Structure 1
Amino acid sequence: MEPSPHRPDDPYAALRYPDYRRYLVGNLISVFGMQLQMTAIAHEIYSRTGSNYSVAQVALVQFIPVLLFSLPAGQLADTLSRKRIVQVAMGVATLGSFGLALLSFYGGPIQWMYLCLFMNGTAKAIQQPAKSSLMPLIVPKSLFSNAVTWNSGGFQLTSIAGPAVAGALIGLGCKYSFIYALEGVATFVFLLLLATVKITEPERQGWTDPWVSFKQGIRFLTRQNLLLSALSLDLFAVLLGGAVMLLPVYQKILHVGDYEYGLMRSAPAFGALLMSFFLARHGGLQRAGRTLLWSVVAFGIFTIIFGFSRSFPLSLLMLTLLGAVDMISVVIRHTLVQLLTPDHMRGRVQAVNGLFITASNELGGFESGAVAALFDRPQDPAFGPTISVVSGGIGTLIVVAIVAYASPQLRKYDRLGDGTSSD
């Protein structure tokens, strides 16, 4: 980390650190490749099977490794070199992507493609606590919120480009295998850039049983009502309100082409990017607790409207707004984790946080596909997906009401970083 004076209101403060810039660029290249791959794999599976449940399994096979490996991964992050853990895990992900490319090119069984996705999910689960804990070793603590905002904003930028490019490539007749190979190359580039980032590893803790480590993380969170409430709200909202996994199905419902499918995949990221720039320019959020609650209310409402929509422009708008309000939750949640967690507990808390995040994304995708399959009507292909998305939005609103009632500390939490309450 290279010390550098910065103004308190400098929106580019974190970017003035060279190591952080290299880390950010490498990570964004990797995320771009991941978005290419996830857009293509859902489209290929649905085009080959025509099954909502087969699409749901794409999310399930990536959630299972998280359930299995998040506990030891958090302990590894507090015991071994976090940088080395990320390098090894991303190397495994590179192999998984090239495996997908070969299977797709030769028309291999879908079950083997699920195996490669399981491999990628394993790599993601193992590296997540270590990767999330790297940022405090790269930028000063005072710049956590700024770095998180740029990291999240950059993530959304590549999440816009990735699906849009993937949709265009698919529409132009590009083979899925080529897209998966691009992901492998992107991950390898991240490995090269990460090797140049100078990181001073903190003092290591001794190895303990992963289950003990997990309980330590949970015990810490139960003592942090504010943090636990924010994480729980995000977990259940995205778990119930996730509609992205069903976009290949909505492509058919809305009668649009492959490029429009790519645009729909990109829309949430576009909305999140706009919101991240707004947050970066305007600094810390006032009345952060209430802002978080109302943003999730909006998330539920926009999800319901998207579920009922049969207009492509309206659907695209709702997906964009979903991404914008979700970004508020992301920034508040990530900032709270960094501010309220002591360094020696970061790996364990990040393991729990990672389990929350991945559970909401991957398990939420499986839930959406499974509910759509449960209510599937051959004579009305739109019925099952509509039930799935709309019921998820309603469930999100119920979750907000429960959390708001149960956590007055979250309702009263004011500006990020000072821990004050508002009356």
Structure 2
Amino acid sequence: MVIHPYRIPAFRAYLLSRLLGTIALAAQAIVIGWQVYGLARETMDIREAAFLLGMIGAAQFVPLFVLTPVVGLVADTLDRRWIVRVTTALLMLVAATLGALTWAGMLGLPALFGAAVFVGVARAFSGPAYSALAPNLVPRESLPTAIAISSIAWQVGSIAGPSFGGLLYAIHPDVAYATIVGLLSLALGAMLFIGPVPQPPAETDRHPLVRILDGFAYVRHNRLVLATITLDLFAVLLAGATALLPIYARDILHVGASGLGLLAAGMGIGAAATAVWFSVRPMTENVGVKMLASVVIFGLAILTFGVSTSFVLSLAALIVAGSADMVSVYVRSSLIQLHTPDHMRGRVSAVSQLTISASNELGEAESGLLASLLGPVGAVVFGGVGAIAITLLWARLFPELRLAKTFDPPEVIPEPQHGAATP
């Protein structure tokens, strides 16, 4: 009989930790963005402030990009529980410091950018460890359900978190930061509840650099994994509009901080509703085509948001975008984890995280740069059209994705070609 992951205490603790930690980080991101934009607008026009807002994303992406080759190997070598515990403690310290500076009226742009760098470092290590830990907590037959639930928790947290942060900040900045610290504390406590887990066998006979390159080689040779990772990379890189929400809330829709929270809640509502649907009716067929269709819908929704001057229409467009993004993430995460052997999951997860961060944080920098050149509306419209075009191109370049019927991996999973990865 297949054991449902919810019946396993360690998995419940893991799920709670990941959900709370993701909500806290996503909430903090929207708070930092609002504070950066507010400080910038004191001395800059909209386009200059938009560019600076985008640079916050770059500040998080650079350390993650630099550390990616190392963090995957770390997740496949060290105790994944302790990696998450240490990085969560670091994130608590960063949030507490920003909260104290905000309370004392001493917060400035250098502190916000410094915090973004530390968040990028912590996320670089915690992301692969979190992703690779879930399959260690459940029996093999329960793994597909566990991966789906874990992916849903991450996506709901990352999309619902900004709405939570915006609403808390509208109440008071101190309330927002105090809540973020509290959520991270609970996430750390849940992770401490998890006992010892199986570790992948140590590959002591192979050079660490070769093992690092194995993760990239595996992704390159598994075309289905490559297709899902790169589609998300380019689509969200182009069409990510969340970085510009403070601009829309303040200067286009004129709804202030409370309206910012509601706009960010739109994607959370869409993602949560779709996640609940998948928990009752899991996707089982035509998964590749459904992922492609969801990215097209995501692009159309972002395009609608970009041209809208109605708060109601903008909110509705973001709800649709969140729902479509949830479908894409559900399919992508399940395919990647189920098509990757356990001893490679940390390194493949690191590559996946790099592309996710590139699409999110680097996408924020791209949005800020385009907004400084084309204006915020032009930047969002360009991104929506670009996401649709990329999806149509990927459907042609990667027929493996279009033809993927189920999440089941092939009987023989392609391994990286070690001979081609020697230093």
- TM > 0.5 between the two? yes
Distance 2:178 2:82 in 1: 24
Instruction: Give the stretch that moved more between structures: 158-167 or 363-372.
Output: 158-167
Correspondence for 1:416 among 388, 407, 419: 407
**Residues 190-229 of structure 1 mapped to structure 2, 5 A cutoff:** 190-198=187-195, 199-206=197-204, 212-229=210-227
Aligned partners of 1:31 and 1:158 also within 8 Å = yes
What whole-Å deviation, never above 9, does each CA across 1:282-340 have from its counterpart, x for those lacking one?
22331111111111111111111111011111111111111111111111111111111
Instruction: Give the stretch that moved more between structures: 107-116 or 357-366.
Output: 107-116
Distance 1:55 1:410 in 2: 35
Distance 1:93 1:171 in 2: 22
Q: Which residue of 2 aligns with 1:396?
A: 387
Distance 1:254 1:141 in 2: 49
Q: After TM superposition, give the deviation of residue 182 of structure 1 in Å.
A: 2.7
The one-letter code of the counterpart of 2:15 is: L
Aligned partners of 2:64 and 2:120 also within 8 Å = yes
Q: Which residue of 2 aligns with 1:26?
A: 17
Q: After TM superposition, give the deviation of residue 227 of structure 1 in Å.
A: 1.0
Aligned partners of 1:144 and 1:335 also within 8 Å = no
Correspondence for 1:189 among 186, 190, 198: 186
**Residues 227-246 of structure 1 mapped to structure 2, 5 A cutoff:** 227-246=225-244
What whole-Å deviation, never above 9, does each CA across 1:130-176 have from its counterpart, x for those lacking one?
1110001012233333223323333455456644443333333x1x2
Among all aligned residue pairs of Structure 1 and Structure 2, give the percentage whose two residues are the same amino acid.
34
Q: Which residue of 2 aligns with 1:259?
A: 258
What are structure 2's unaligned runs of at least 5 residues? 42-48, 412-423
Aligned partners of 2:156 and 2:275 also within 8 Å = no
**Residues 270-281 of structure 1 mapped to structure 2, 5 A cutoff:** 270-281=269-280
Q: After TM superposition, give the deviation of residue 110 of structure 1 in Å.
A: 1.0
Distance 2:208 2:96 in 1: 31
The one-letter code of the counterpart of 2:363 is: G
Aligned partners of 1:78 and 1:205 also within 8 Å = no
Aligned partners of 2:94 and 2:115 also within 8 Å = yes
Correspondence for 2:2 among 6, 9, 34: 6
Distance 1:337 1:137 in 2: 16
Aligned partners of 1:72 and 1:210 also within 8 Å = no
Distance 2:12 2:333 in 1: 19
Distance 1:344 1:103 in 2: 43
The one-letter code of the counterpart of 1:76 is: V
Aligned partners of 1:32 and 1:162 also within 8 Å = yes
The one-letter code of the counterpart of 2:70 is: P
1:338 aligns with 2:337: yes
1:327 aligns with 2:326: yes
Q: TM-score, normalised by structure 1?
A: 0.89
Q: Which residue of 2 aligns with 1:40?
A: 31
Q: After TM superposition, give the deviation of residue 271 of structure 1 in Å.
A: 0.6
Instruction: Give the stretch that moved more between structures: 207-216 or 230-239.
Output: 207-216
Q: Closer, same or farther in 2 for the Cα pair 1:248/1:210, shift >3 Å? A: farther
Q: Which residue of 2 aligns with 1:307?
A: 306
Q: After TM superposition, give the deviation of residue 373 of structure 1 in Å.
A: 1.3
Q: Closer, same or farther in 2 for the Cα pair 1:392/1:180, shift >3 Å? A: same
The one-letter code of the counterpart of 1:49 is: A
Distance 2:5 2:101 in 1: 41
The one-letter code of the counterpart of 1:385 is: P
Aligned partners of 1:239 and 1:363 also within 8 Å = yes
Distance 1:37 1:209 in 2: 39
**Residues 7-406 of structure 1 mapped to structure 2, 5 A cutoff:** 13-50=4-41, 51-106=49-104, 107-158=106-157, 162-172=161-171, 174=172, 176-198=173-195, 199-206=197-204, 212-252=210-250, 253-375=252-374, 384-406=375-397
What whole-Å deviation, never above 9, does each CA across 1:258-295 have from its counterpart, x for those lacking one?
22210111211211111112222222331111111111
Distance 1:207 1:367 in 2: 42
Aligned partners of 1:413 and 1:419 also within 8 Å = no
Q: Closer, same or farther in 2 for the Cα pair 1:75/1:152, shift >3 Å? A: closer
The one-letter code of the counterpart of 2:360 is: N
Q: TM-score, normalised by structure 2?
A: 0.89
The one-letter code of the counterpart of 1:371 is: L
Cα RMSD over matched residues? Answer: 2.0
Distance 2:206 2:260 in 1: 46
Structure 1 residue matching 2:193: 3-state secondary structure: coil
The one-letter code of the counterpart of 1:311 is: S
Aligned partners of 1:63 and 1:358 also within 8 Å = yes
- Across the two proteins, how many residue pairs are aligned to each other? 401
Aligned partners of 2:338 and 2:407 also within 8 Å = no
Tell me which stretches of 4 or more aligned residues in structure 1 moved more than 4 Å: 156-161, 207-211
Instruction: Give the stretch that moved more between structures: 240-249 or 325-334.
Output: 325-334
